[in-house]
Structure 1
């Protein structure tokens, strides 16, 4: 049995809504162990990530037509007209496809609905994040290589 991105999102939602403090799941070679309710200071130290990201688009088999995020939602900004581009899933946020290349977008960059603005890595699979709106990037809200939560705001876009 192979897990899809939607399956993983559903699993995380079920775990989040579950009263259980610890969950273990194994499907084929995939094994997931989650423990809820730990304080930030008690979480185990994370080993530093390797500096190199494989040629994400090619290595992960990302198809150009894959949809990477939900439609942006309005977010209060200085002018009240900014839309939030949110993480479509939990994972590691990357602003560029590989080390040494420019980021997908910078503050002030114009974007279309189908513009890839970032990648999120989940279990060695790289998922594109699409802007979902035509406009300009007003603010980048997440650092490169950061762990992002499902529906966490990644960018604020001023629509055009």
Structure 2
């Protein structure tokens, strides 16, 4: 039996705090080729997840907040925010499911944020064509500026230039 308990969440949060990427993962699925990927992700403020999409026809994704809060922006092809949902452990929204081909990226809004992610497997690294060309690559100096914009963006806002 696998459990997601306070000890696991506390451990993940501590790992994320000391990680250069400001996040840490714990897989519940036994292998990367499992047909359903299930994992806890601790995300500290300052972690940058480049906007991306999952284009495989069978792919969907669910995020469920376990601790803290995060914003999830949905973008159009050009980087305009078309939907923004805040997930909080105290509600009112605690989970979101989005279909394939949806440009999206989460941003942690407070320390100690942990989400449970469920998506169609097997695991496949995201191809370059499914990473937003209008957003900086993780580790680039522009990523920090983009992340700051992302934390406060609203529906209708357009991603800032990455140059």
- TM-score, normalization by structure 1: 0.27
- TM-score, normalization by structure 2: 0.26
